[in-house]
Amino acid sequence: MKLLTPRDWKAYELIDSGDGEKLERFGKYVLRRPEPQAVWSKSMPESDWESMAHAQFVQEGSHSGGWKRFKPMQDQWYIEYRYKGMNLAFRLGLTGFKHVGIFPEQAVNWNFIYESCLKLEQPKVLNLFAYTGGASLAARSGGADVIHCDSIKNVLNWANANMQASDLTDIRWLLEDAFKFVKREARRERVYHGIILDPPAWGHGPKGEKWKLEDMVNELTEYVSKILHPNQHFMVFNSYSLGFSPLVLENLVKSHFSPSMTADMESGELYMAERSGRKLPMGIFSRMYHGPEEAK
């Protein structure tokens, strides 16, 4: 099992975590947000948290709430992420669901996606549950034809703004229930060279379709296995479900993909390192790659 974390990202920093919260810097603004995995004590005194934070998310329901501002800050702002020839820009903002438009730990997967696309021949990539598009931007930067699928219209608009800010074009936006779309693509016998999966623990499709990860992830993986190219491919499977371990994803993938496709699969945890050096777990992953160079 691997432990992976982004390196040398000057625009983002996990400052501290503990007591069910995390303190992060996104560009020039410091935000205080709930973090259920941070069950330990804070490394820094509460006075430091209070003096540094521009805003704090206050939970009002099980999945929603609002922001309390302490210092002047813009409603929207941008940060950049650079890796080799990939130059991405993200529009951030304070939402009613504690998110700000980016999951920083995913930067390690963006690097993997970008490098995989560079090595594949005319790759076609499908990004499911695609949110604001970090993985889609990485694939497009690597030269892939990209379909970005999400069930929320304003999220698609947000991803489109990120594409334009990153000086990229021609990502195909698809307002669709990801599970239904994959099933249709399997029936049509469509094939993709890259598939990116980051399903939420729960959610709804554009027509009210209910999604619960534990109930549907096995069937989803089965259909994904039918549309991934057997010889030239990559896949990234990510999850933030608190009940899953990396072995869960690994077993799912191995149960539906051939041994030759999973031979180079790697699984593990993503984390962010705070100033004290402590590691905050930020989800689990399995990913695999097989390209022209392996076939020779």
Domains of the chain are 2-76 (2.60.40.1180), 104-295 (3.40.50.150)
For residue 97, the model assigns a pLDDT of 84
**Radius of gyration, alpha carbons of the chain:** 19
d(CA 222, CA 219): 5
In terms of Cα–Cα distance, which of 98, 76, 100, 85 is closest to 12? 100
pLDDT over 80 at 150, yes or no:
yes
200 confidence band (pLDDT: 50, 70, 90)? confident
d(CA 223, CA 227): 7
Q: In this structure, are residues 232 and 291 in contact, taking their beta carbons and an 8 Å threshold?
A: yes
* Neighbouring-strand partners of residue 78: 91
Output the CA–CA distances (angstroms, integers) from residue 29 to 22, 25, 100, in the order listed.
14, 6, 11
Alpha carbon distance, N-terminus to C-terminus of the chain:
28
23-39 pLDDT tens trace: 999 999 999 999 999 99
65-108 pLDDT tens trace: 899 999 999 999 999 999 999 999 999 999 988 899 999 999 99
